[in-house]
Chains A and B, each alone.
Chain A
Amino acid sequence: MSSPTPQATSLSSDPIPSKPFGDAAISVEPGLGEKDMVINFGPQHPAMHGTLRLILRLNGEKVSGAEPDMGFLHTGFEKLGEYRTYNQYIVVTDRMNYFSAMANNTGFACAVEEMLGIECPPRAAAIRVLMCELSRISDHILGIGLQGMDMGAFTPMLWSFIEREKIYDVFELTSGGRLTTSYTRVGGLAFDLPDGVEYRVRTFLDRLDDTVRDMEGMLARNRIFMDRTVGVGVLTRDEAIAYGMSGPLARASGVDRDLRRDRPYLGYEQYDFDVPVFTDGCVYSRYQQRLAEIRESAKICRQVLDSMPSGPINALGAKATLPSKDDVYTKMESLIQHFMLTMPGHGIKTPESGEIYHATESPNGELGWYLISDGTAVPYRVRVRPPSLFAFQSILPMIKGRLVSDVVATMSSLNVIAGELDR
């Protein structure tokens, strides 16, 4: 090997070593760019929010094939559901979609109530609607913020975190938990609203309008943001239906369906709100969709606060919820009540062979619960229909033939939550 040592073109007269990186240097094979290349995108990639993995087949920088891989966060929630009572399982539902735990709590409690054939009292329903809409705002505003961040706009993400903190303060005040709330119970709620929640929510909503306007001003006509998102990751209406998409992702593709309007639950039919629909189905219309839904959710929140009914918060009566720990330690009746609710063989009476599929409109889409009861206080089968599962499997038609940077834009617009995806 007597190749001439290349001479530096700089002023320095030191020769460049023939192997500047030692053995770690990559040898460029002839014909490397002509073949397809398979790369891992995730599960530990900064642009993958959560433990998601895509195996991409690239031709140059163009995506010619992709396979979504999942299961890194699989926790066996469905199996666990067969060993926990209905009220115990509400704690597990928090962990599925940790962006909007309140919506998951509510969805599961509604499904069990539908199976038992009971309805929660009007006050409990109104509080649940308020909490669901707040968590929808928090989920969507963070989704937009992260979408902006992935396109290189860092400021909207910080604004969205400020708003989310305020929502979490409200959650902390009502349920004691910020992220994992476990606020609902079968038949109603764990606690009534404390004083000060209405004031906090109202001041938050007044400030929210400004933030949403600021975020829109920052992104909506932003040249960089539009170049990266308009016409990228397109999913047509037919594809969205065939892939089982629901919620904001389907509505951004022109599917005019919202369970709050079409199958009203919890008294959603009482409130005035519009269902925004966009037809382009690209990343940009998903951003527009989320922004429009934040405004509608704020409208619903205001109406709920204006018309908050009074009355009990649990249809099964005070005996259906756990008494406070102080009472358990000092009062005989509360101790018995606690015992009756937690011991195996006691608890909620369920139908002998009941089965129900009940879906609610969670921030990500149709969150369905398929429950089978066998007459005991423990479900026989719990099946979650997570919206993220159907969003994640439809990634291929959106990114095929696009560049790798478009994969980042598309993934962040889907807002796939790994906890809900893998369960």
Chain B
Amino acid sequence: MTQLPLADMGKIFQERRERAAESKARRVERERRLADAVCAWLGKDLVKRAAFRDQQTIYVPAARAHETLAHCKNALGFDQLTDCTAYDTLKLEGEHPERFVVVWTLTNLGQEAMLRIKAYLNEDEPVLPTATDLWVGADFPEREVYDMFGIEFEGHYNLKRLLMPESYVGYPLRKDYPLRGRGERDNFPVVPRTRKASYE
């Protein structure tokens, strides 16, 4: 690589920064239009729409969540499920109709666009249809949500705990679960060295 004089480099860098800012503005506009398309398709069922720092979020009813995801994948080209996670609104300020929120982050690789879809979920019966039929990659993230929040995904072929042991009781990332002090150590007793272990 040839060494450019520093003054030239500054000018070239400036031009490239401007071009990147333009392309970012185009990307934000593209993401807004795709979110518009989802809202128009949802029609009356749209719960809420929000945008924070140019990131589009669409709240859908839990009953239509799977349908919306399928529409995003098949009609709008969101071909990758980047992430699936959840959070507990128990201690969060503001209006929240239900306790849990499941969040899907979708990526359109062809147009380089991102969209966030959320669904409120009832505390008494936290069940959603799985997205593994749309993206195989939803397998582990859904298992993790089940493990950490106790939200079940109907139709998942192998829904069991991912990170915690299968005999574990409780859902650690719920807000009413303490950081420590629920006697986790007592659930896994240490075998004292003096006792002879039996391998039967």
Residue positions of A touching B, CB distance < 8 A:
67, 70-71, 74, 76, 78-80, 82-83, 114-115, 117, 239, 241-245, 255, 257, 262-264, 267, 269-270, 272, 299, 302-303, 306-307, 351-357, 359, 366, 368, 370, 372, 374-375, 380-381, 383, 385, 389-390, 392-394, 422-423
Contact = CB atoms under 8 A, between A and B. Distances in A.
B53 interface: yes
A57 to B, nearest CB: 14
Interface string B171-188: 011000101000000000
Interface string B104-128: 0100010010101000000000000
Contacts of B83: 244, 357, 368, 370, 383, 385
Nearest to B137: A244
Contacts of B91: 380
A370 B103 contact: yes
Given A80-B179, A270-B13, A389-B140, A355 B52 contact: yes
Q: Is the interface of A mostly helix, strand, loop or mixed?
A: mixed
Interface stretch (B1-9, B35-43, B61-69): B1-9
A211 B135 CA distance: 40
A255 B109 contact: yes
A356 B137 contact: no
Contact of A357 (B55, B79, B92): B55
10 contacts: A71-B161, A79-B173, A79-B177, A245-B137, A255-B109, A366-B82, A368-B83, A380-B92, A393-B137, A393-B140
Interface string B20-38: 1000000100000000000
Given A76-B172, A244-B80, A356 B52 contact: yes
A269 B105 contact: no
A77 to B, nearest CB: 11
Contact of B87 (A351, A380, A423): A380
Contacts of B135: 242-244
B172 A385 contact: no
Nearest to A239: B136
Contacts of A269: 16-17, 19-20
Nearest to B144: A389
Contacts of B57: 355
A352 B52 CA distance: 11
Contacts of A353: 52, 92-94
Contacts of B12: 270
